[in-house]
Amino acid sequence: MKKKKIKKSIALPLALFIYATAMAVYFIPRNNEMSDTEKWVTVIASYVIIGLLWFTLKKKEDFTRKRDEEWTNKQNENKK
């Protein structure tokens, strides 16, 4: 039975999302030096960056998979 590998495009952004959420939940109520607007802009910016990271890693994985498939097809054609 094969163990399913977790993709980097899922694992890394998920870990960062959990970390950013935990830090926001822990520090936002305790931070009285920043305005509420600054707090929420910081949290939203973190989520946007995590989303861009997910998108970039997903595209990279898709490109790598497509390149590997093309290479495999080319190798199969050369064998014939």
The domains of the chain are located at 35-70
Digit-coded pLDDT (tens) for 62-73: 999 999 888 888
The more confident residue out of 79 and 56 is 56
Cβ neighbours of residue 73 under 8 Å, at least 6 residues apart? none
**Residues 48-63: what's their mean pLDDT?**
96
Digit-coded pLDDT (tens) for 8-47: 889 999 999 999 999 999 988 888 888 889 999 999 999 9
The whole-number pLDDT of residue 36 equals 86
- Amino acid (one-letter) located at 7: K
The whole-number pLDDT of residue 29 equals 85
